[in-house]
Structure 1
Amino acid sequence: QGLHKEALMQFEKIKDTCFQAVYQLGVMYYDGLGTEKDPERGVEYMSKILNSDSPRAGHLKLAAAYNLGRAYYEGCGVKHSTEEAERLWLIAADHGNPKASVKAQSALGMLYSMPVLKDLKKAFFWHSEACHNGNLESQGALGIMYLYGQGIHQDTKAALECLREAAERGNIYAQGHLVEHYYTKKFYSKAAALAKRTTANNDISMLAKRADCHPTYVAKGVAMAAFYLARCLQLGRGIKQDEDAAKKYYSKACHLDPAVAFHLERAANLGRI
Protein backbone atom coordinates (compact mmCIF):
# COMPACT_ATOMS: atom_id res chain seq x y z
CA GLN A 1 0.00 0.00 0.00
CA GLY A 2 2.92 2.33 0.73
CA LEU A 3 4.31 1.80 -2.77
CA HIS A 4 0.88 2.50 -4.23
CA LYS A 5 0.68 5.80 -2.33
CA GLU A 6 4.08 6.86 -3.61
CA ALA A 7 3.13 5.89 -7.17
CA LEU A 8 -0.13 7.83 -6.86
CA MET A 9 1.76 10.96 -5.85
CA GLN A 10 4.15 10.64 -8.77
CA PHE A 11 1.35 10.02 -11.28
CA GLU A 12 -0.53 13.08 -9.99
CA LYS A 13 2.54 15.22 -10.67
CA ILE A 14 2.80 14.22 -14.33
CA LYS A 15 -0.83 13.57 -15.27
CA ASP A 16 -1.10 16.76 -17.34
CA THR A 17 1.66 15.64 -19.69
CA CYS A 18 1.47 11.84 -19.54
CA PHE A 19 -1.56 9.78 -20.59
CA GLN A 20 -0.06 6.65 -19.04
CA ALA A 21 -0.19 8.44 -15.69
CA VAL A 22 -3.82 9.39 -16.32
CA TYR A 23 -4.65 5.75 -17.03
CA GLN A 24 -2.87 4.50 -13.92
CA LEU A 25 -4.65 7.09 -11.81
CA GLY A 26 -7.96 5.93 -13.25
CA VAL A 27 -7.25 2.35 -12.19
CA MET A 28 -5.97 3.37 -8.76
CA TYR A 29 -8.90 5.62 -7.90
CA TYR A 30 -11.46 3.13 -9.21
CA ASP A 31 -10.01 0.18 -7.28
CA GLY A 32 -8.74 2.12 -4.26
CA LEU A 33 -5.04 1.41 -4.71
CA GLY A 34 -2.94 3.74 -2.58
CA THR A 35 -5.97 5.89 -1.85
CA GLU A 36 -9.60 5.77 -0.83
CA LYS A 37 -11.85 4.38 -3.55
CA ASP A 38 -13.15 7.15 -5.75
CA PRO A 39 -14.83 5.45 -8.72
CA GLU A 40 -16.24 8.71 -10.09
CA ARG A 41 -12.73 10.07 -10.38
CA GLY A 42 -11.54 6.82 -11.90
CA VAL A 43 -14.27 7.06 -14.53
CA GLU A 44 -13.32 10.67 -15.21
CA TYR A 45 -9.71 9.73 -15.95
CA MET A 46 -10.66 6.78 -18.16
CA SER A 47 -13.13 8.95 -20.08
CA LYS A 48 -10.40 11.54 -20.61
CA ILE A 49 -8.28 8.91 -22.35
CA LEU A 50 -11.09 7.43 -24.43
CA ASN A 51 -12.28 10.84 -25.61
CA SER A 52 -8.83 12.27 -26.30
CA ASP A 53 -7.77 13.13 -29.85
CA SER A 54 -4.10 12.95 -28.94
CA PRO A 55 -2.07 10.21 -30.67
CA ARG A 56 -0.27 9.75 -27.35
CA ALA A 57 -3.48 8.34 -25.85
CA GLY A 58 -4.07 5.89 -28.70
CA HIS A 59 -2.41 2.84 -27.16
CA LEU A 60 -4.50 3.24 -23.98
CA LYS A 61 -7.95 3.73 -25.51
CA LEU A 62 -9.01 0.08 -25.67
CA ALA A 63 -7.95 -0.60 -22.09
CA ALA A 64 -9.78 2.55 -20.98
CA ALA A 65 -12.89 1.43 -22.87
CA TYR A 66 -12.77 -1.93 -21.06
CA ASN A 67 -12.52 -0.25 -17.67
CA LEU A 68 -15.33 2.17 -18.46
CA GLY A 69 -17.47 -0.77 -19.58
CA ARG A 70 -16.73 -2.45 -16.29
CA ALA A 71 -17.83 0.71 -14.43
CA TYR A 72 -21.13 0.85 -16.32
CA TYR A 73 -21.73 -2.86 -15.81
CA GLU A 74 -21.03 -2.62 -12.09
CA GLY A 75 -22.85 0.70 -11.73
CA CYS A 76 -19.82 2.04 -9.91
CA GLY A 77 -18.89 5.67 -10.50
CA VAL A 78 -21.64 5.92 -13.11
CA LYS A 79 -25.26 4.84 -13.41
CA HIS A 80 -25.56 1.14 -14.25
CA SER A 81 -26.14 0.47 -17.94
CA THR A 82 -25.71 -2.96 -19.49
CA GLU A 83 -26.14 -1.43 -22.95
CA GLU A 84 -23.35 1.09 -22.38
CA ALA A 85 -21.13 -1.65 -20.96
CA GLU A 86 -21.78 -3.69 -24.10
CA ARG A 87 -20.99 -0.72 -26.37
CA LEU A 88 -17.72 0.03 -24.60
CA TRP A 89 -16.62 -3.60 -24.44
CA LEU A 90 -17.27 -3.98 -28.16
CA ILE A 91 -14.96 -1.02 -28.74
CA ALA A 92 -12.35 -2.50 -26.41
CA ALA A 93 -12.63 -6.00 -27.92
CA ASP A 94 -11.92 -4.66 -31.43
CA HIS A 95 -13.40 -7.60 -33.35
CA GLY A 96 -11.23 -10.11 -31.50
CA ASN A 97 -7.92 -8.42 -32.22
CA PRO A 98 -5.30 -10.18 -30.04
CA LYS A 99 -3.71 -6.80 -29.36
CA ALA A 100 -7.00 -5.37 -28.11
CA SER A 101 -8.53 -5.90 -24.66
CA VAL A 102 -8.78 -9.65 -24.23
CA LYS A 103 -10.58 -9.02 -20.94
CA ALA A 104 -13.29 -7.17 -22.88
CA GLN A 105 -13.61 -10.12 -25.26
CA SER A 106 -14.10 -12.47 -22.32
CA ALA A 107 -16.47 -10.02 -20.63
CA LEU A 108 -18.63 -9.99 -23.77
CA GLY A 109 -18.73 -13.78 -23.68
CA MET A 110 -20.04 -13.58 -20.12
CA LEU A 111 -22.42 -10.72 -20.94
CA TYR A 112 -24.10 -12.58 -23.78
CA SER A 113 -24.57 -15.59 -21.49
CA MET A 114 -26.62 -13.48 -19.05
CA PRO A 115 -30.43 -13.23 -19.24
CA VAL A 116 -30.54 -9.50 -20.14
CA LEU A 117 -28.66 -9.79 -23.45
CA LYS A 118 -28.67 -13.57 -23.84
CA ASP A 119 -27.29 -14.66 -27.19
CA LEU A 120 -25.34 -17.89 -26.83
CA LYS A 121 -23.94 -17.76 -30.36
CA LYS A 122 -22.42 -14.36 -29.61
CA ALA A 123 -21.25 -15.67 -26.24
CA PHE A 124 -19.53 -18.59 -27.94
CA PHE A 125 -17.93 -16.29 -30.52
CA TRP A 126 -16.46 -13.95 -27.92
CA HIS A 127 -15.30 -16.72 -25.60
CA SER A 128 -13.62 -18.32 -28.63
CA GLU A 129 -11.84 -15.08 -29.49
CA ALA A 130 -10.73 -14.54 -25.90
CA CYS A 131 -9.65 -18.16 -25.51
CA HIS A 132 -7.55 -18.02 -28.67
CA ASN A 133 -5.98 -14.87 -27.27
CA GLY A 134 -5.00 -16.66 -24.06
CA ASN A 135 -7.86 -15.90 -21.66
CA LEU A 136 -8.15 -18.65 -19.06
CA GLU A 137 -11.69 -17.88 -17.91
CA SER A 138 -13.01 -18.03 -21.46
CA GLN A 139 -11.20 -21.30 -22.08
CA GLY A 140 -13.18 -22.88 -19.26
CA ALA A 141 -16.42 -21.27 -20.44
CA LEU A 142 -15.79 -22.56 -23.96
CA GLY A 143 -15.34 -26.08 -22.64
CA ILE A 144 -18.66 -25.90 -20.81
CA MET A 145 -20.43 -24.56 -23.91
CA TYR A 146 -19.05 -27.43 -25.99
CA LEU A 147 -19.98 -29.91 -23.27
CA TYR A 148 -23.64 -28.89 -23.13
CA GLY A 149 -24.08 -27.66 -26.71
CA GLN A 150 -24.65 -24.03 -25.76
CA GLY A 151 -24.24 -21.68 -28.71
CA ILE A 152 -22.50 -24.44 -30.65
CA HIS A 153 -23.11 -28.10 -31.47
CA GLN A 154 -22.27 -30.45 -28.63
CA ASP A 155 -18.72 -31.76 -28.90
CA THR A 156 -17.52 -33.76 -25.92
CA LYS A 157 -14.00 -34.18 -27.30
CA ALA A 158 -13.52 -30.43 -27.79
CA ALA A 159 -15.14 -29.80 -24.40
CA LEU A 160 -12.75 -32.07 -22.55
CA GLU A 161 -9.74 -30.62 -24.35
CA CYS A 162 -10.75 -27.11 -23.26
CA LEU A 163 -11.72 -28.12 -19.74
CA ARG A 164 -8.61 -30.20 -19.07
CA GLU A 165 -6.24 -27.53 -20.31
CA ALA A 166 -8.12 -24.80 -18.43
CA ALA A 167 -8.14 -26.96 -15.29
CA GLU A 168 -4.40 -27.54 -15.54
CA ARG A 169 -3.88 -23.79 -15.89
CA GLY A 170 -5.83 -23.17 -12.68
CA ASN A 171 -9.41 -22.56 -13.79
CA ILE A 172 -11.38 -23.84 -10.78
CA TYR A 173 -14.76 -23.66 -12.51
CA ALA A 174 -13.38 -25.94 -15.23
CA GLN A 175 -12.12 -28.30 -12.53
CA GLY A 176 -15.59 -28.45 -10.98
CA HIS A 177 -17.18 -29.33 -14.30
CA LEU A 178 -14.53 -31.97 -14.97
CA VAL A 179 -15.31 -33.53 -11.59
CA GLU A 180 -18.97 -33.60 -12.57
CA HIS A 181 -18.16 -35.16 -15.94
CA TYR A 182 -15.97 -37.87 -14.40
CA TYR A 183 -18.61 -38.66 -11.78
CA THR A 184 -21.41 -38.80 -14.35
CA LYS A 185 -19.36 -41.17 -16.50
CA LYS A 186 -18.72 -43.29 -13.37
CA PHE A 187 -15.00 -42.58 -13.29
CA TYR A 188 -15.37 -42.24 -9.55
CA SER A 189 -11.70 -42.50 -8.61
CA LYS A 190 -10.79 -39.71 -11.05
CA ALA A 191 -13.71 -37.61 -9.84
CA ALA A 192 -12.77 -38.02 -6.18
CA ALA A 193 -9.06 -37.36 -6.76
CA LEU A 194 -9.67 -34.18 -8.76
CA ALA A 195 -12.36 -33.01 -6.33
CA LYS A 196 -9.95 -33.44 -3.44
CA ARG A 197 -7.35 -31.27 -5.17
CA THR A 198 -9.94 -28.66 -6.15
CA THR A 199 -11.26 -28.32 -2.61
CA ALA A 200 -7.85 -28.23 -0.92
CA ASN A 201 -7.62 -24.42 -0.86
CA ASN A 202 -10.35 -22.41 0.87
CA ASP A 203 -9.10 -18.97 -0.12
CA ILE A 204 -11.48 -18.10 -2.97
CA SER A 205 -10.13 -14.58 -3.34
CA MET A 206 -6.55 -15.78 -3.68
CA LEU A 207 -7.52 -18.49 -6.17
CA ALA A 208 -9.43 -15.93 -8.23
CA LYS A 209 -6.50 -13.51 -8.29
CA ARG A 210 -4.01 -16.22 -9.14
CA ALA A 211 -6.03 -17.43 -12.12
CA ASP A 212 -7.48 -14.01 -13.00
CA CYS A 213 -10.97 -15.52 -12.87
CA HIS A 214 -14.14 -14.14 -11.30
CA PRO A 215 -14.49 -15.15 -7.62
CA THR A 216 -18.14 -16.13 -8.14
CA TYR A 217 -17.17 -18.81 -10.63
CA VAL A 218 -14.24 -19.95 -8.53
CA ALA A 219 -16.65 -20.48 -5.62
CA LYS A 220 -19.06 -22.36 -7.90
CA GLY A 221 -16.26 -24.63 -9.08
CA VAL A 222 -15.14 -25.47 -5.55
CA ALA A 223 -18.77 -25.98 -4.48
CA MET A 224 -19.34 -28.46 -7.31
CA ALA A 225 -16.18 -30.35 -6.46
CA ALA A 226 -17.06 -30.39 -2.75
CA PHE A 227 -20.53 -31.77 -3.40
CA TYR A 228 -19.31 -34.56 -5.67
CA LEU A 229 -16.52 -35.41 -3.24
CA ALA A 230 -19.12 -35.60 -0.48
CA ARG A 231 -21.21 -37.91 -2.65
CA CYS A 232 -18.21 -40.15 -3.29
CA LEU A 233 -17.39 -40.25 0.43
CA GLN A 234 -20.98 -40.95 1.42
CA LEU A 235 -21.38 -43.83 -1.02
CA GLY A 236 -17.80 -45.08 -1.06
CA ARG A 237 -17.42 -44.40 -4.76
CA GLY A 238 -13.79 -44.17 -5.86
CA ILE A 239 -12.70 -43.46 -2.30
CA LYS A 240 -13.06 -45.04 1.13
CA GLN A 241 -16.51 -44.44 2.60
CA ASP A 242 -16.51 -41.78 5.30
CA GLU A 243 -19.86 -40.26 6.21
CA ASP A 244 -18.42 -37.72 8.64
CA ALA A 245 -16.11 -36.36 5.95
CA ALA A 246 -19.03 -36.40 3.51
CA LYS A 247 -21.04 -34.13 5.83
CA LYS A 248 -18.12 -31.72 5.99
CA TYR A 249 -17.92 -31.44 2.22
CA TYR A 250 -21.69 -31.14 1.81
CA SER A 251 -21.54 -28.26 4.28
CA LYS A 252 -18.67 -26.68 2.37
CA ALA A 253 -20.62 -26.82 -0.89
CA CYS A 254 -23.64 -25.17 0.76
CA HIS A 255 -21.48 -22.45 2.27
CA LEU A 256 -19.68 -21.62 -0.98
CA ASP A 257 -22.69 -21.60 -3.30
CA PRO A 258 -26.12 -22.51 -1.90
CA ALA A 259 -27.71 -22.52 -5.36
CA VAL A 260 -25.19 -25.03 -6.73
CA ALA A 261 -25.57 -27.21 -3.63
CA PHE A 262 -29.37 -27.09 -3.83
CA HIS A 263 -29.37 -28.05 -7.51
CA LEU A 264 -27.02 -30.99 -6.94
CA GLU A 265 -28.84 -32.12 -3.80
CA ARG A 266 -32.10 -32.23 -5.73
CA ALA A 267 -30.40 -34.27 -8.46
CA ALA A 268 -29.06 -36.65 -5.81
CA ASN A 269 -32.49 -37.00 -4.20
CA LEU A 270 -33.96 -37.86 -7.59
CA GLY A 271 -31.29 -40.52 -8.08
CA ARG A 272 -29.61 -38.73 -10.96
CA ILE A 273 -26.19 -38.62 -9.32
Structure 2
Amino acid sequence: MYYDGIGTEANEKKGFELMLKVAKSSSLGAIHLKHHAQFNIGRAYFEGYGVEQNNKEAERWWIQAADDGSPNASVLAQTMLGMLYSRPDFLNLKQAFFWHSEACGNGSLESQGILGVMYLQGDGIKQSEASAYECLKEAADRGNVYAQGRLVQLFYNKKLFTKASDLARRVVAYTDVEELARDTGCLAAYITKGIAYACFYLSRCLALGNGLRMDKEEAEKYFKRACELDPVVSHDFHLDVAYGIL
Protein backbone atom coordinates (compact mmCIF):
# COMPACT_ATOMS: atom_id res chain seq x y z
CA MET A 1 0.00 0.00 0.00
CA TYR A 2 2.82 2.39 0.85
CA TYR A 3 4.69 1.33 -2.31
CA ASP A 4 1.80 2.05 -4.70
CA GLY A 5 0.04 4.72 -2.64
CA ILE A 6 -3.16 2.67 -2.35
CA GLY A 7 -5.35 3.92 0.50
CA THR A 8 -2.54 6.06 1.87
CA GLU A 9 0.08 8.55 0.74
CA ALA A 10 2.85 6.83 -1.23
CA ASN A 11 6.06 6.36 0.73
CA GLU A 12 8.38 4.23 -1.37
CA LYS A 13 11.11 3.93 1.25
CA LYS A 14 8.71 2.77 3.97
CA GLY A 15 7.00 0.45 1.49
CA PHE A 16 10.35 -1.14 0.60
CA GLU A 17 11.26 -1.63 4.27
CA LEU A 18 7.91 -3.31 5.00
CA MET A 19 8.23 -5.64 1.99
CA LEU A 20 11.73 -6.59 3.12
CA LYS A 21 10.36 -7.39 6.58
CA VAL A 22 7.67 -9.68 5.11
CA ALA A 23 10.14 -11.39 2.75
CA LYS A 24 12.51 -12.22 5.61
CA SER A 25 9.81 -13.17 8.11
CA SER A 26 9.61 -16.75 9.41
CA SER A 27 6.05 -16.21 10.67
CA LEU A 28 3.44 -18.69 9.42
CA GLY A 29 1.09 -15.76 8.88
CA ALA A 30 3.48 -14.24 6.33
CA ILE A 31 4.11 -17.36 4.23
CA HIS A 32 1.35 -16.62 1.70
CA LEU A 33 2.76 -13.09 1.22
CA LYS A 34 6.43 -14.02 0.89
CA HIS A 35 6.59 -14.53 -2.90
CA HIS A 36 4.62 -11.34 -3.54
CA ALA A 37 6.95 -9.38 -1.26
CA GLN A 38 10.01 -10.86 -3.00
CA PHE A 39 8.60 -9.88 -6.39
CA ASN A 40 7.95 -6.31 -5.25
CA ILE A 41 11.44 -6.01 -3.75
CA GLY A 42 12.83 -7.05 -7.14
CA ARG A 43 10.54 -4.54 -8.80
CA ALA A 44 11.76 -1.81 -6.42
CA TYR A 45 15.40 -2.56 -7.28
CA PHE A 46 14.58 -2.70 -11.00
CA GLU A 47 12.78 0.66 -10.93
CA GLY A 48 15.02 2.30 -8.31
CA TYR A 49 11.91 2.99 -6.24
CA GLY A 50 12.59 3.35 -2.51
CA VAL A 51 16.08 1.91 -2.98
CA GLU A 52 19.07 2.46 -5.27
CA GLN A 53 18.48 0.96 -8.73
CA ASN A 54 20.25 -2.39 -9.10
CA ASN A 55 19.37 -4.95 -11.80
CA LYS A 56 21.45 -7.72 -10.21
CA GLU A 57 19.50 -7.37 -6.98
CA ALA A 58 16.26 -7.33 -8.99
CA GLU A 59 17.33 -10.61 -10.60
CA ARG A 60 18.23 -12.15 -7.22
CA TRP A 61 14.88 -11.31 -5.63
CA TRP A 62 12.85 -12.33 -8.69
CA ILE A 63 14.58 -15.72 -8.76
CA GLN A 64 13.49 -16.25 -5.15
CA ALA A 65 9.96 -15.08 -5.94
CA ALA A 66 9.75 -17.31 -9.04
CA ASP A 67 10.56 -20.41 -6.93
CA ASP A 68 11.71 -22.67 -9.81
CA GLY A 69 8.50 -22.01 -11.74
CA SER A 70 6.10 -23.16 -9.03
CA PRO A 71 2.45 -22.28 -9.81
CA ASN A 72 2.15 -21.16 -6.18
CA ALA A 73 4.99 -18.66 -6.58
CA SER A 74 4.96 -15.20 -8.18
CA VAL A 75 4.03 -15.66 -11.84
CA LEU A 76 4.85 -11.98 -12.36
CA ALA A 77 8.43 -12.68 -11.23
CA GLN A 78 8.66 -15.53 -13.75
CA THR A 79 7.53 -13.20 -16.54
CA MET A 80 9.89 -10.43 -15.46
CA LEU A 81 12.84 -12.85 -15.42
CA GLY A 82 11.94 -13.76 -19.00
CA MET A 83 12.03 -10.09 -19.91
CA LEU A 84 15.22 -9.44 -17.93
CA TYR A 85 17.10 -12.19 -19.79
CA SER A 86 16.02 -10.63 -23.10
CA ARG A 87 17.78 -7.35 -22.27
CA PRO A 88 21.23 -6.71 -23.84
CA ASP A 89 22.91 -6.44 -20.42
CA PHE A 90 21.47 -9.79 -19.22
CA LEU A 91 21.06 -11.51 -22.58
CA ASN A 92 20.37 -15.23 -22.21
CA LEU A 93 17.59 -16.21 -24.60
CA LYS A 94 17.42 -19.83 -23.42
CA GLN A 95 16.80 -18.59 -19.88
CA ALA A 96 14.30 -16.05 -21.21
CA PHE A 97 12.43 -18.82 -23.03
CA PHE A 98 12.50 -21.04 -19.94
CA TRP A 99 11.00 -18.41 -17.65
CA HIS A 100 8.36 -17.29 -20.15
CA SER A 101 7.41 -20.97 -20.61
CA GLU A 102 7.06 -21.41 -16.85
CA ALA A 103 4.99 -18.24 -16.52
CA CYS A 104 2.82 -19.16 -19.50
CA GLY A 105 2.16 -22.59 -18.01
CA ASN A 106 1.08 -20.82 -14.83
CA GLY A 107 -1.38 -18.58 -16.69
CA SER A 108 0.63 -15.49 -17.69
CA LEU A 109 -1.05 -13.78 -20.64
CA GLU A 110 1.99 -11.51 -21.12
CA SER A 111 4.43 -14.42 -21.39
CA GLN A 112 2.17 -16.36 -23.75
CA GLY A 113 2.37 -13.55 -26.31
CA ILE A 114 6.14 -13.19 -25.91
CA LEU A 115 6.60 -16.96 -26.33
CA GLY A 116 4.80 -16.69 -29.66
CA VAL A 117 7.29 -14.08 -30.83
CA MET A 118 10.24 -16.16 -29.58
CA TYR A 119 9.00 -19.15 -31.58
CA LEU A 120 8.44 -16.88 -34.59
CA GLN A 121 12.00 -15.53 -34.49
CA GLY A 122 13.78 -18.62 -33.15
CA ASP A 123 14.93 -16.80 -30.01
CA GLY A 124 16.13 -19.28 -27.39
CA ILE A 125 14.26 -22.12 -29.11
CA LYS A 126 14.11 -23.72 -32.55
CA GLN A 127 12.02 -21.57 -34.88
CA SER A 128 8.50 -22.91 -35.35
CA GLU A 129 5.83 -20.97 -37.20
CA ALA A 130 3.18 -23.47 -36.08
CA SER A 131 4.05 -23.00 -32.38
CA ALA A 132 4.29 -19.24 -32.90
CA TYR A 133 0.81 -19.14 -34.41
CA GLU A 134 -0.63 -21.31 -31.63
CA CYS A 135 0.79 -19.08 -28.87
CA LEU A 136 -0.05 -15.80 -30.59
CA LYS A 137 -3.58 -16.86 -31.53
CA GLU A 138 -4.46 -18.06 -28.03
CA ALA A 139 -2.90 -14.99 -26.38
CA ALA A 140 -4.64 -12.69 -28.87
CA ASP A 141 -7.99 -14.35 -28.19
CA ARG A 142 -7.41 -13.82 -24.46
CA GLY A 143 -6.86 -10.08 -25.01
CA ASN A 144 -3.08 -9.73 -25.35
CA VAL A 145 -2.74 -6.66 -27.61
CA TYR A 146 0.95 -7.24 -28.35
CA ALA A 147 0.07 -10.76 -29.55
CA GLN A 148 -2.71 -9.30 -31.68
CA GLY A 149 -0.27 -6.88 -33.34
CA ARG A 150 2.27 -9.62 -34.01
CA LEU A 151 -0.49 -11.87 -35.36
CA VAL A 152 -1.34 -9.10 -37.84
CA GLN A 153 2.31 -9.19 -38.90
CA LEU A 154 2.23 -12.99 -39.28
CA PHE A 155 -0.94 -12.86 -41.40
CA TYR A 156 0.54 -10.11 -43.59
CA ASN A 157 3.81 -11.97 -44.17
CA LYS A 158 1.82 -15.09 -45.12
CA LYS A 159 -0.08 -12.89 -47.62
CA LEU A 160 -3.33 -13.43 -45.73
CA PHE A 161 -4.13 -9.77 -46.31
CA THR A 162 -7.85 -9.85 -45.50
CA LYS A 163 -7.17 -11.51 -42.14
CA ALA A 164 -4.33 -9.06 -41.48
CA SER A 165 -6.39 -5.97 -42.28
CA ASP A 166 -9.50 -7.18 -40.41
CA LEU A 167 -7.55 -7.86 -37.22
CA ALA A 168 -5.53 -4.66 -37.61
CA ARG A 169 -8.75 -2.62 -37.86
CA ARG A 170 -9.83 -3.99 -34.48
CA VAL A 171 -6.46 -3.37 -32.82
CA VAL A 172 -6.02 0.23 -34.05
CA ALA A 173 -9.38 1.08 -32.47
CA TYR A 174 -7.81 0.75 -29.01
CA THR A 175 -7.16 4.14 -27.41
CA ASP A 176 -6.90 3.71 -23.63
CA VAL A 177 -3.64 1.84 -23.08
CA GLU A 178 -3.71 2.20 -19.29
CA GLU A 179 -7.19 0.70 -19.08
CA LEU A 180 -6.09 -2.21 -21.28
CA ALA A 181 -3.08 -2.74 -19.01
CA ARG A 182 -5.34 -2.90 -15.95
CA ASP A 183 -7.82 -5.24 -17.64
CA THR A 184 -5.26 -7.69 -19.05
CA GLY A 185 -2.36 -7.42 -16.59
CA CYS A 186 -0.03 -6.76 -19.54
CA LEU A 187 2.59 -4.02 -19.61
CA ALA A 188 1.51 -0.74 -21.20
CA ALA A 189 4.73 -0.61 -23.25
CA TYR A 190 3.91 -3.93 -24.93
CA ILE A 191 0.29 -2.92 -25.53
CA THR A 192 1.52 0.26 -27.23
CA LYS A 193 3.94 -1.79 -29.34
CA GLY A 194 1.12 -4.12 -30.40
CA ILE A 195 -1.02 -1.19 -31.56
CA ALA A 196 1.99 0.22 -33.45
CA TYR A 197 2.41 -3.09 -35.32
CA ALA A 198 -1.27 -3.08 -36.26
CA CYS A 199 -1.08 0.55 -37.43
CA PHE A 200 1.93 -0.13 -39.62
CA TYR A 201 0.54 -3.23 -41.33
CA LEU A 202 -2.85 -1.60 -41.81
CA SER A 203 -0.98 1.28 -43.42
CA ARG A 204 0.72 -1.16 -45.83
CA CYS A 205 -2.60 -2.83 -46.68
CA LEU A 206 -4.17 0.56 -47.42
CA ALA A 207 -1.18 1.83 -49.39
CA LEU A 208 -1.04 -1.25 -51.63
CA GLY A 209 -4.71 -2.23 -51.68
CA ASN A 210 -3.96 -5.55 -50.00
CA GLY A 211 -7.10 -7.05 -48.45
CA LEU A 212 -9.06 -3.81 -48.73
CA ARG A 213 -9.57 -0.80 -50.99
CA MET A 214 -6.46 1.31 -51.59
CA ASP A 215 -6.49 4.60 -49.68
CA LYS A 216 -3.19 6.50 -49.62
CA GLU A 217 -4.48 9.20 -47.26
CA GLU A 218 -5.62 6.66 -44.66
CA ALA A 219 -2.36 4.75 -45.12
CA GLU A 220 -0.36 7.86 -44.27
CA LYS A 221 -2.51 8.50 -41.20
CA TYR A 222 -1.86 5.05 -39.76
CA PHE A 223 1.83 5.15 -40.60
CA LYS A 224 2.16 8.44 -38.69
CA ARG A 225 0.32 6.94 -35.72
CA ALA A 226 2.68 3.94 -35.74
CA CYS A 227 5.64 6.35 -35.63
CA GLU A 228 4.13 8.25 -32.71
CA LEU A 229 3.40 5.07 -30.75
CA ASP A 230 6.80 3.39 -31.23
CA PRO A 231 9.49 5.36 -33.11
CA VAL A 232 12.07 2.55 -32.87
CA VAL A 233 9.85 -0.17 -34.35
CA SER A 234 8.54 2.28 -36.97
CA HIS A 235 12.11 3.11 -38.03
CA ASP A 236 12.75 -0.59 -38.64
CA PHE A 237 9.50 -0.83 -40.62
CA HIS A 238 10.53 2.19 -42.70
CA LEU A 239 13.86 0.54 -43.55
CA ASP A 240 12.08 -2.69 -44.54
CA VAL A 241 9.87 -0.71 -46.92
CA ALA A 242 12.82 1.27 -48.30
CA TYR A 243 14.79 -1.91 -49.03
CA GLY A 244 11.79 -3.66 -50.57
CA ILE A 245 11.44 -6.26 -47.81
CA LEU A 246 7.82 -5.21 -47.25
Pairwise TM-score range, normalised by the shorter structure: over 0.9
Show the counterpart of 2:136. 163
Matches within 5 A, 1:78-157: 78-157=51-130
Q: Which amino acid aligns with 1:247?
A: E
Equivalents in 1 of 2:53, 2:194: separation in Å? 28
Equivalents in 1 of 2:129, 2:203: separation in Å? 26
| Aligned-partner SS, 1:221 | helix
- TM-score between both structures, scaled by the size of structure 2: 0.98
Please report how far the alpha carbon of residue 36 of structure 1 lies from its aligned counterpart in structure 2 after TM superposition: 2.8
Matches within 5 A, 1:1-273: 28-273=1-246
Please report how far the alpha carbon of residue 41 of structure 1 lies from its aligned counterpart in structure 2 after TM superposition: 1.2
Please report how far the alpha carbon of residue 54 of structure 1 lies from its aligned counterpart in structure 2 after TM superposition: 1.5
Q: Which amino acid aligns with 2:157?
A: T
Q: Which amino acid aligns with 1:71?
A: A
| Aligned-partner SS, 1:29 | coil
| Aligned-partner SS, 2:89 | coil
Is there any run of 5+ residues in structure 2 with no aligned partner, and where? none
Equivalents in 2 of 1:224, 1:53: separation in Å? 47
User: Which deviations, in whole Å up to 9, do the C-alpha atoms of 1:157-216 show, x marking residues without a partner?
Assistant: 111000000001111111111111111111111110111111111111111211111111
Please report how far the alpha carbon of residue 128 of structure 1 lies from its aligned counterpart in structure 2 after TM superposition: 0.3
Aligned residues: 246
Please report how far the alpha carbon of residue 72 of structure 1 lies from its aligned counterpart in structure 2 after TM superposition: 0.3
User: Which deviations, in whole Å up to 9, do the C-alpha atoms of 1:45-90 show, x marking residues without a partner?
Assistant: 1011011121211111111000100000011110011111111001
Is there any run of 5+ residues in structure 1 with no aligned partner, and where? 1-27
| Aligned-partner SS, 1:30 | coil
User: Share of identical aligned residues, percent?
Assistant: 53
Q: Which amino acid aligns with 2:126?
A: H
CA RMSD of aligned residues (A): 0.9
Please report how far the alpha carbon of residue 37 of structure 1 lies from its aligned counterpart in structure 2 after TM superposition: 2.1
| Aligned-partner SS, 1:152 | coil
Equivalents in 2 of 1:160, 1:246: separation in Å? 26
Please report how far the alpha carbon of residue 34 of structure 1 lies from its aligned counterpart in structure 2 after TM superposition: 2.5
Rg (Cα) greater in structure? 1
Runs of 4+ with >4 A deviation:
none
Equivalents in 2 of 1:107, 1:58: separation in Å? 22
